[in-house]
Amino acid sequence: MVNSIGYYGQVRVYAKVVANNSKDINGIKLEVGDVELVERLDVDSSETLTKIVVAKDNSGDYKTVQAAIDAVSENNIYPVEIFIKDGIYKEVINITSSKPFIRMIGESKEGTILTYDNYNSKPKPAGGTYGTTGSSTAFLYADNFIAKNLTFENSFNDPSIEDDGRQAVAIKSQGDKMIFENVRFIGNQDTLYANAGRQYFKNCYIEGDVDFIFGAAQAVFNNCEIYSLDRGSSVNNGYVSAASTPIKEPYGYLFINSRFLSDAPEGTVYLGRPWHPGGDKYAIANVVVRDSYLGAHIKAEPWTDMSGFKATEARFYEYQNSGPGAVINPSRKQLTAEEAKKYTIENILDGWNPEEVLNK
């Protein structure tokens, strides 16, 4: 019986002895249960990349994105590219943890749109409601996932639904070593649920209003545009982040070289608040905004409490930001130059360098 353990860089193939009287190539008897390394395969240099094309007009291999995902083998060890031609694909997408190494590439960022409109309080056909997690347009649970040049959207926006039922997630991402480059995330409340593992967002556009970047992942947002929607309030137009970083993790969300923009009135948007799922006292948010532009919509006191948990007890920091929203006052903890050396892309991602993957 042969199994493989794979990751970007190398795959190790092992054989386990399952029959009596087995021998190796040298004629030496093997014991049942023995596990031997058979071969090492270099995934990065492999030329076995599989490409699947999705097109609504029947010009590809499949008409839906999920059909292409379903065609990928379980526990695959080589990259599989799913190229999606421009079009609006209204479907719920699910990439399970057993399907790593998928590269989802759109024809264009604005033209390739993966969308659905579930929301928290929406009734399910079998009873109950979808809930926040269940409202996701895309469930992305596999390691070594890459998305480029497309849009993930949750199109729900019914003002008649009460606040406690409006959560509508565009993606829930919780694989390790996930990369999103030149991707748009469109929604309102709870747009991007980055909840576990190491995740890298480069040149992305993320839009929403309440807690629209949230979860427990170690995530870097590099050169991204973070756009807060105007909810029509003269006082509170929402919260950019709601991190739930586990206390054991030294790092959570890092926004670097990014732009926080909005058409909301001046001083009406918070940078974030600390989310404690289920009242978990060990979820101590870590969010750092550095070397970024903050528009006038950001409040002078941009970090606030949530569900009885104090912002002052979370790990919220800023460093060398600019723009009208980047005022400095006692409520905004500023990193020293020495402290800022810790909050780098490399450290947040625990030594993993996603740029090496993107440049291959």
Catalytic residue list: 211
SS3 337: helix
SS3 278: helix
Q: Could you tell me if 181 and 202 are in contact, meaning their C-beta atoms sit under 8 angstroms apart?
A: yes
Q: Could you tell me if 335 and 317 are in contact, meaning their C-beta atoms sit under 8 angstroms apart?
A: yes
Residue 303 main-chain phi, psi, to 5 deg: -110, 135
Q: Which amino acid appears at position 240 of this protein? A: V
Cα–Cα distance, 349 to 360 (Å, whole number): 19
- Residue entry with tokens 């409006």: 166
Number of other residues whose CB lies within 10 A of the CB of residue 248: 7
Cα–Cα distance, 45 to 49 (Å, whole number): 10
SS3 129: strand
Q: Could you tell me if 74 and 102 are in contact, meaning their C-beta atoms sit under 8 angstroms apart?
A: no
Per DSSP bridges, beta strands 225-228 and 259-262 are parallel
Q: Could you tell me if 102 and 136 are in contact, meaning their C-beta atoms sit under 8 angstroms apart?
A: no
